[in-house]
Structure 1
Amino acid sequence: MPTNAQLLLLDRDVVAPSLTADQVMAAVRDAFVLHSQRAGRVFPVVRTKLQTGGVFGIKSGDVASRDLLGFKAAGFWPANPGRGGEPHQATIALFDPHTGRPLCIMDGNAITTARTGAAGGLGMQLLARRESSRICVFGTGVQARVQLDYALKVLPHLREVQYVTADGARSPSFEAVFEGRCSIGPARDRNDAVAASDVVITATPGGGPLFDAVAVQPGTHLTCVGADTAGKRELPAGVLERARIVVDDVTQARSIGECQWAAQLPCTEIGDLLAAAPAADRSATDVTVFDMTGIALQDLTVARFVYEHAIEQGLGTAVPWPW
């Protein structure tokens, strides 16, 4: 048996600089199309609350034609900021599907952030009105920042940003990230901000409805990030019933996403839209919702190019891993 096998370890200082926006968006698009064509498989999700107060999950899958196999172990530990760490934690592992041998273990936090932001960007490209100029963001954390960053990249007319914090206070650090790219400030009233916006991003812990359903005007696009566990929600009742709903995975969205609250409603997977030629038309008065729960193929396609980049550049730490 081989005794010189090695396992490559990639920490955040290697992973994060490798994540260029264009490459991440291309990899995520690829993941959604593979999923649509059933060329890539998504295995059943593990997502459970722990006695420690955290939430732990595993998302896994494979693409047989590309020798791609792996998983992401991730979750949310709300007490971590008090320990000086990030509440979201993620680790990704890639395997050789022919032997089962691990190829690489890498930090998954930056990948999770980037691939979720890229997914939101793709959703906005497809579903938001091209002339959208005003946006309302719920939350000011990591995901709120990356979603707004991609929104500014893909919506060329976006100029005015209102944001909503849990306590209603201004967030100078959030505003500073986007200085010079848009006009940005806190919303005085969350319902008024939603009603005045072309795009609404919800990127909170998913503790309950964030605004009233009547605030959503015809033509609005909503990117929903925070509902990723049974019992979580950000949208009020009545919005999904009015909307054209797009999801990353139907089964997953109906079990842990916003669609868990209206599982009987029809929805379309974003990979089907990306694979269509031409893409489906959007009416100027359509309300659209992208219910994002995150699928394993997003993590794996992004992790693959990070791994290949590390091999090419001689990055990371290789440790002996004999058979």
Structure 2
Amino acid sequence: MTPSTAPADALLLLLDKHQVDTLLTPGDALEATREAFVLHSDREGRVFPVVREPLATGGVFGIKSGDVQAQGLLGFKAAGFWPANRQRGGEPHQATIVLIDPGTGRPLCLIDGNAVTTMRTGAAGALGLQQLARPDSTRLCLFGTGVQARVQLDFALRLLPSLHEVRYVGTGTQRNAAFEAHFAGRCDIAPAADRNAAVAHSDVVITATPGAGALFDLEAVQPGTHLTCVGADTRGKRELPPGLLTRVRLFVDDGAQAQQIGETQWAPDAPATELGDLLSGKTSFVRAPGDITVFDMTGLALQDLTVARLLHARANATGTGTRIAWPW
């Protein structure tokens, strides 16, 4: 990253959602997200304590921040969930990323974080699937039909070519034609007639909901299943049934953070392995036929920062974005 040349000449780069979409590919997101996991495993990147608090307006506001001192990378994401935005015709998830010059404390780049969050979370889920799911998995059960559910399924179909049958559980019992159309020709996709039966019949289960409560019964989860859990990202949220985490091989993105705001908050004593330790080679995992694996995803600040760094460099190289004077 390039620090400000002089106080009077300082510029702030702004990247909106359309510019992010233009600059960022799924392959980019996978590479940058993998790097973030490895940096975290090697403790070369720091993750600072998460802020995640409810608001009187009905929203939830959070801050995730961190740095990679050897790379001069510092920044944060201010983000949260405002459910009333749906009534306004807007997206309930909102996020803004700021990259900061660690030498001066001055902001370098401000990025619409929604697209970044969506893509890096999808990439994180995909890396979990590569490491943990059975490579011959053919059937997937998806809870949710929103933005994150869509990107998780998109990455799953990219990285597990054997997947061909998808059953989804949305907010109602009717078909979601627009959701299905997005995956036309890539899989056999249809709503689940019964959620427990769909879980029992699946090799992979992905939960990408607001985390209002358990989505299926404990008995539905069969040996050999892999579960990617996205929706529990705040104290009090959950998507898995009580008792499941004590029966599984549990993997997390960050141990302390998962115990604070993830599914792991409901079983804080359950042994867990950080996914980055698999990706860095610090540990290994060989799936036994009967293993049930869970990847509890709470999202790492480092993932936002490695993707943002890529966007910042690519925007500077291509002249993309808006630059405004930001004198000291």
The interval holding the TM-score normalised by the smaller chain is: over 0.9
| Of 113, 125, 143, the match for 2:118 | 113
Q: Which runs of 5+ in 1 are unaligned?
A: none
User: Aligned letter for 2:83?
Assistant: P
Q: Distance in 2 between matches of 1:19 and 1:284?
A: 37
Q: Distance in 2 between matches of 1:312 and 1:71?
A: 23
User: Aligned letter for 1:122?
Assistant: L
Q: Distance in 2 between matches of 1:268 and 1:279?
A: 10
Q: Distance in 2 between matches of 1:25 and 1:142?
A: 18
| Of 250, 259, 270, the match for 1:254 | 259
Q: Is 1:70 the equivalent of 2:75?
A: yes
Q: Distance in 2 between matches of 1:89 and 1:278?
A: 35
Local SS of the residue matching 2:154? helix
Per-residue CA deviations over 1:290-322 (Å, capped at 9, x if unaligned) read 000001000000000011000000011111111
Kindly report which structure 2 residues correspond to 1:135-146, keeping only aligned pairs within 5 A, or say none: 135-146=140-151
Query: What residue in structure 2 maps to residue 312 of structure 1?
Result: 317
Q: Distance in 1 between matches of 2:286 and 2:105?
A: 44
1:81 CA drift (Å): 1.6
Residue correspondences, number: 323
C-alpha contact 2:76 2:301 (8 A) present in aligned 1: yes
Q: Distance in 2 between matches of 1:59 and 1:232?
A: 18
| Of 32, 43, 49, the match for 2:48 | 43
Q: What TM-score does the superposition give when structure 2 sets the normalisation length?
A: 0.97
Kindly report which structure 2 residues correspond to 1:130-279, keeping only aligned pairs within 5 A, or say none: 130-276=135-281, 279=284
Q: Distance in 1 between matches of 2:201 and 2:221?
A: 9
User: What's the Cα RMSD here?
Assistant: 0.9
1:84 CA drift (Å): 2.0
Name the % identity: 66
Local SS of the residue matching 2:239? coil
Local SS of the residue matching 1:137? strand
Q: 13-22 or 255-264: which moved more?
A: 13-22
1:170 CA drift (Å): 1.3
Local SS of the residue matching 2:264? helix
Q: Is 1:104 the equivalent of 2:109?
A: yes
Q: Is 1:128 the equivalent of 2:133?
A: yes
Q: Distance in 2 between matches of 1:95 and 1:19?
A: 20
Query: What residue in structure 2 maps to residue 28 of structure 1?
Result: 33
Q: Distance in 1 between matches of 2:283 and 2:26?
A: 24
C-alpha contact 2:138 2:203 (8 A) present in aligned 1: yes
Q: Distance in 1 between matches of 2:282 and 2:256?
A: 25
Q: Distance in 1 between matches of 2:174 and 2:265?
A: 31
1:13 CA drift (Å): 1.3
User: Aligned letter for 2:41?
Assistant: S
Q: Distance in 2 between matches of 1:85 and 1:188?
A: 30
| Of 289, 292, 296, the match for 2:297 | 292
1:169 CA drift (Å): 2.0
C-alpha contact 2:277 2:283 (8 A) present in aligned 1: no
Q: Which runs of 5+ in 2 are unaligned?
A: 1-5
Query: What residue in structure 1 maps to residue 3 of structure 2?
Result: none
1:168 CA drift (Å): 2.1
